[in-house]
Amino acid sequence: MYQELAQQFFEGSNTTLVNAYNLLRTGKPASVGLPVTLNMQVSSQYTSLKTNNIIGILPGSDPVLKNEYVIYAAHIDHLGITAPVNGDSINNGAHDNASGSAILLETARTYRNLPKAPKRSIIFLSCTGEEMGLIGSDYFANNPTVPENNLVANLALDMPFFFYPLNDIIPHGIQHSSLRGPVEATANYLNIKITPDPAPEEVVFTRSDHYSFIKKGIPALFIKGGIISGDPNKDGAKYIADWRKTIYHKVDDEMDQPFDFNAAAMHVKTNFLIGYLVANDTKRPTWNKGDFFGGKFNLENK
């Protein structure tokens, strides 16, 4: 009944409901002028749902610096149940963000297996409600379990991309703070390249849990896998763009995707080493002089 009603809106236009739907499914715009007007009233019903962050802390080894914290954060929520597609209505979020959560756990395991903890303490934060507006990370950033002024850096782990070998990384935020140093040292050590943000107009640096910490004046990084696939027949940039159009935030984000788990392990090494260098540096990270985020959120005044 609803489909028949919707089809009537397209009568007299140069397209159909089915054509518009197919365009949207492929990520193409389907805008068209419709020769109808509509008056409608909508009522919404809200139900409160209680959910929690999960936090682990590895105490630092330095008697003074152990009171400062490097935070790794990955969100554990996804979209849940939506309208079914081919009978499947469950959004499992294998890449967004079970992948980041797995990297968080393996990073924690790596720290736990060190013969000696780094100088600073490490917080491992599994956030809830990222898809609903960074709710979990925002709550933690505003109600931390440790003194707020002792939070020195954040590394976000969210949909990192590992569909081919990790030959390069896109470290969103590298240009804003002194965290550039640990990133470059890590990339050099692991023999991976640093690729500039290929789509700065998407403003990725404000679109995941790291932004909750940025708003509190804490330097942050959001590292994605790069676009150098290593295969001359596979355009990494196109592959990622196509994935965003066809799988991102859809029921197809499942475990049967062609994940490269060696590349996933390299993500663990990359994020671990960057955080480890920060945790052992006697100087806490700072925003670059004159940087927009540093000036906007007043880290220098903390």
pLDDT tens sequence across 92-116: 999 999 999 999 999 999 999 999 9
Q: Rounded CA gap, 70 and 220, in Å?
A: 10
The mean of the pLDDT values for the chain is 94
Confidence of residue 1 (pLDDT cuts 50, 70, 90): low
Instruction: Clarify whether residues 31 and 172 are in a common domain.
Output: no
Q: What percentage of the chain carries pLDDT values higher than 70?
A: 98
Question: Whole-model pTM?
Answer: 0.85
Helix axes 261-280, 180-190, angle to 10 degrees: 130
Instruction: Clarify whether residues 37 and 69 are in a common domain.
Output: no
Confidence of residue 208 (pLDDT cuts 50, 70, 90): very high
Q: Average of pLDDT values for 219-245?
A: 96
Instruction: Clarify whether residues 174 and 291 are in a common domain.
Output: yes
Length of the chain counted residue by residue: 302
262: domain CATH number is 3.40.630.10
Instruction: Clarify whether residues 59 and 152 are in a common domain.
Output: yes
Domain holding 14, by residue range, is 1-45
Instruction: Clarify whether residues 41 and 118 are in a common domain.
Output: no
**Beta strands 193-194; 69-75: pairing state:** unpaired
Indicate whether 263 pLDDT > 80: yes
Instruction: Clarify whether residues 39 and 79 are in a common domain.
Output: no
Confidence of residue 300 (pLDDT cuts 50, 70, 90): low
pLDDT tens sequence across 16-47: 988 888 888 887 888 888 888 878 898 988 88
Nearest to 291 by CA among 175, 147, 148: 175
* Higher-confidence position of 300 and 254: 254
Q: Average of pLDDT values for 218-235?
A: 97
The pLDDT value recorded for residue 186 is 98
The pLDDT value recorded for residue 7 is 86
Indicate whether 302 pLDDT > 60: no
Instruction: Clarify whether residues 227 and 200 are in a common domain.
Output: yes
Instruction: Clarify whether residues 41 and 178 are in a common domain.
Output: no
Q: Rounded CA gap, 122 and 78, in Å?
A: 25
Instruction: Clarify whether residues 113 and 195 are in a common domain.
Output: yes
Instruction: Clarify whether residues 205 and 287 are in a common domain.
Output: yes
CA distance to 83, 127, 148, 254, 290, per residue, from 98 (Å): 21, 12, 28, 10, 36
Report which secondary-structure segment, H or E, holds 83. strand 80-85
Number of domains in the chain: 2
Q: Rounded CA gap, 299 and 218, in Å?
A: 7
The three-class DSSP label of residue 29 is coil
Indicate whether 169 pLDDT > 80: yes
Instruction: Clarify whether residues 38 and 119 are in a common domain.
Output: no
Instruction: Clarify whether residues 36 and 184 are in a common domain.
Output: no
The pLDDT value recorded for residue 299 is 54
Q: Average of pLDDT values for 163-174?
A: 98
pLDDT tens sequence across 51-91: 999 999 999 999 999 999 999 999 999 999 999 999 999 99
* Higher-confidence position of 224 and 27: 224
pLDDT tens sequence across 275-295: 999 999 999 999 999 999 999
Q: Average of pLDDT values for 238-246?
A: 95
Q: What percentage of the chain carries pLDDT values higher than 90?
A: 81
